Structures are given as C-alpha cells and as structure tokens.
Structure 1
C-alpha cells in the first residue's frame, strides 16, 4: 500500500480528509488494506494479486461468484424472512435458486470485465478489433473455470458469450460508464431468475438495483487492490496482439 504522500500532508485537515476519503485516496487505500488483513486473518487464506492472464481470469470468476451469490442470498433472505430456512430446503426452490445464481454469475462476469476495461481505457490495450477478441476470450476463460451447471449442460454458455460480444462492442464505442450503471445488468438478470412472483419482481427491482450497484462499487475498490493494473494491461495487450 502506498503511504500518504506530500500532497496529502500539505493539505488542510478538511481538504486532506475529503481527498483521502475519495475512491482510490489514501484513506480508502488504508481501509481496503485493513480489510484485506482482517479477511486473511479470519480465513487463513492470503489473497493473491492478479498479475497475468490466468490470474485475471480467476479474479473475474471469483469476483462474479462472490457478487452474484451474495446479492441473491441477501435479497432472498430479506424477502422471505422467517420462511427462509424452510424455503431454502425446498427442492424446487433450491433448483430455481441455483439457476438464478449461475445466470447472475455469468452476467456479473460480463459486468466486471466491462468495469475493468473502463478502468484500463487510458492504457494501450491494442487495436479495438483485437481488444474485443481478447476480452471475449477472457470472458470465456472465466466461465470455463467453473463446470457447466446442470441447466446448461447441453447448451453451455454460447448465448451469454454472444450477448457479451454485443455489450462489449457497445461499451468500447462509448465513454466508460460507472460501475453502478454497468451492474444494473446483473441486478436485472438476478431478478429475472429469482424464485419470486412477478408482482414481487416488479416491486423489488429498484431495491435490488441499488443493492447490487453498491456491491459492485465496493468491489471495484477491491479489484484495484487485487489486480495489478499495469501488468494486466500488458497481458491483455499481448493477447490482443496475438489475436487473429
């Protein structure tokens, strides 16, 4: 973690505090580093930093799983209340929940790559057409790190890969978007498959959009700690230069 630089030391108390609290500021970096140490102490597992292609694919996979599962479980526990424990043991509910988690995972992986690309936009990632192929390959690599779920045993992920290709083309043609705006796709995908009635789906979408957006904004800060951006930019550019 980088220490507080001279710029922060020269500011007045209010200005320094405001700057430190900004995303990526000294205070935000300190808090994230503290969170990292607490997590490593509690789990006994040291979080590794992604510095190459394989590490990046794993970071996307693990991040998408964390966000999708955390979001849907949080929502359903709040929505089902006291009936939750019984519902979660119901076979039909559990199967529908499993589909929801997997579909949310696939969409969350798309969103994380789009967020990452926006963060790296200022770096040289190679020609746009080759960059597209490189990032699609990254998405495929992240999905491939998990076995295909039962409901996709036959079709695989071909439809969501095609979907991502279209989303990526649109994203590259426009200015980078905020994480909370990009993540609306995951929120809507989760609600599309959530095992709730349609009326509840409609009434709760705003709450879920806010919740998922907050989770992605928070996770974006974690990504900046867990991913070596310059090294990853070089890895993406190298993969793009090798693309046909």
Structure 2
C-alpha cells in the first residue's frame, strides 16, 4: 500500500527558482539518457546485457551521457522559456537572462566529467549559453520543433559505431520530439508560471 501511495503521490508544484532548476535538471538528464540506453539496447538486441557489461562500452555510454546532457539542458531550457514568455510582458529579455542563469546553475552542479575533460566541459557550457541566448531572437517554437537543430548532434553521440546505426536518425528525432512534448505537458500541469516569472524578476 505504501508503495502505491508513493507511486500515485502528486508531483510537487513548481513555483520558485529552486523547483524550476530541479525540474530542468531531472528532465534534461532523463530525455538524453533514456534515448541513449534504449537505442543502445535496441541496436544490441539479444546481446544487450553482454554489451552493457563490457567495460569499454560502459565507458562509451558514460561519455555519451555527459556529452548529451548540455543538449538536454538546451532543449528543456528553451521549452521552459516558451512557457514563461507569455507572463514576462515587456520584461521578456530579463526573464530569459534569469532563466539562462538558472540553466547554467544546473550545469554547474556537476564536476567536470573525466570522460569529457575540463576544456570540453567548459566549451559545452559556452555553447549551451550561446544556444539559450539565441532563443530570445525568435518567436517561441512549437515544442515538437525545439529538438530539430540538435537532433543530428545528439544522434552522433550514440555509443554505437556509425556504420551500425543505419537509417535510425528519424527514430531518434521522433523520440526527442515526443519526449519533449510529454515533458512540456508535465511542466504545464505543475508550474505556476506567473509565480516563477515573478521570482526570476525579483
């Protein structure tokens, strides 16, 4: 019974900066890691358990996870900005600037991954900041279109040799689009967008 109560417990609302950061962190990690694991298992087929048990492949997966995490932050960050923008009024740029700081603070929660290295990790941070800054230069995209500029980059990060990937790009792109739409629905259900916007501007 306690397990069922925990499973059906309502997810906490998102009403402040900290709760927003936690949501961005969890969903960014989820969207990229789930795709990496599921694609790798599908490609390995019956040999997936053997493959995941190999040290070399485990290291490749670890590198892929950390390479892809900033892409997840970029997608989730842009999605969040689209939800907050109607509440920002004339202070749209100020809200975006604060939202970028929130996303970067999530990035900074983690030490430099050994598989990426200091230079690569700091470069990923710079690219993340640049991607989010560009969000202010255009109208909000449809949620399903947000992954479009990053889908090929994400697909190239899969820990499967490129000769074995076949024509799977469309599958990965559709996975990102559907997953982001689902995450958007959860965000809309949980967030007090006006309160979060006011918190960011405070």
**TM-score under structure 1 normalisation?**
0.73
Aligned to 1:94: 58
In 2 relative to 1, CA 116–40 (structure 1 residues): closer, same or farther, beyond 3 Å?
farther
2:69 aligned with 1:105: yes
Residue pairs, 1:25-174, within 5 angstroms: 41=5, 43=7, 47-124=11-88, 127=91, 130-155=94-119, 157-174=121-138
Aligned-pair Cα RMSD in Å: 2.4
2:171 aligned with 1:207: yes
For the 8 Å contact 1:191–1:205, the answer to whether it is kept is yes
Aligned residues: 200
List alignment gaps of at least 5 residues for structure 1: 1-38, 239-244
In 2 relative to 1, CA 40–229 (structure 1 residues): closer, same or farther, beyond 3 Å?
farther
CA–CA distance in 1 between the matches of 2:120 and 2:94?
24
For the 8 Å contact 1:108–1:186, the answer to whether it is kept is no
List alignment gaps of at least 5 residues for structure 2: none
Structure 1, residues 104-143: CA drift from partner, whole Å, max 9, x if none? 2221111111011112221126645544432221111111
CA–CA distance in 2 between the matches of 1:72 and 1:206?
15
Of structures 1 and 2, the one with the larger relative CO (CA 8 A, separation 6+) is 2
Higher alpha-carbon Rg: 1
Q: CA deviation at 1:70?
A: 1.3
2:160 aligned with 1:182: no
CA–CA distance in 2 between the matches of 1:108 and 1:187?
11
CA–CA distance in 2 between the matches of 1:140 and 1:201?
32
Match of 1:217 among 165, 168, 181: 181
